[in-house]
Amino acid sequence: MASTRRPAGLLRPSALVRRASISKGLLGDDRFWRTIFLLMMGRRAMRKIMGSDPEVVALDRLEPGQFMTIEAIDPRAVARPAKGQKRRRPR
């Protein structure tokens, strides 16, 4: 017996909106749909740049009275030596 199901991705609301924004906004003259297209592509680009999955660094259980401080350090500032200096090798 042949399957009569359609592919799941074709009927998603985001796929329908993307298709309409391309045909009406990018290929057509409708400013509203062009704005929708730019917003959708901008969101996709930001997700690629920033990463969409959170990164788990540590899992710790805190007892009453304990606290944890979370700080972010720019990895580029730590990894490179100053200009003109040689990188030290760990002993």
Domain assignment of residue 23, yes or no = yes
Residue 66 tokens, joined: 């304990």
Domain assignment of residue 78, yes or no = no
On whether the CB atoms of residues 24 and 33 are closer than 8 A, the answer is yes
Domain extent for 22:
11-51
Cα–Cα distance between 75 and 81 in angstroms, integer?
A: 12
Question: What is the structure's pLDDT at 7?
Answer: 61
Domain assignment of residue 19, yes or no = yes
Q: How many domains does the chain have?
A: 1
Domain assignment of residue 45, yes or no = yes
pLDDT digits (tens, 9 = 90+) for 37-68: 999 999 888 888 877 677 787 888 999 999 98
Question: What is the structure's pLDDT at 28?
Answer: 92
Residue 64 tokens, joined: 């009453």
What would the DSSP string read from start to end of 11-73?
Answer: G-HHHHHHHHIIIIIISSS-HHHHHHHHHHHHHHHHHHHH-SSPPP----PPPTT--------
Domain assignment of residue 70, yes or no = no
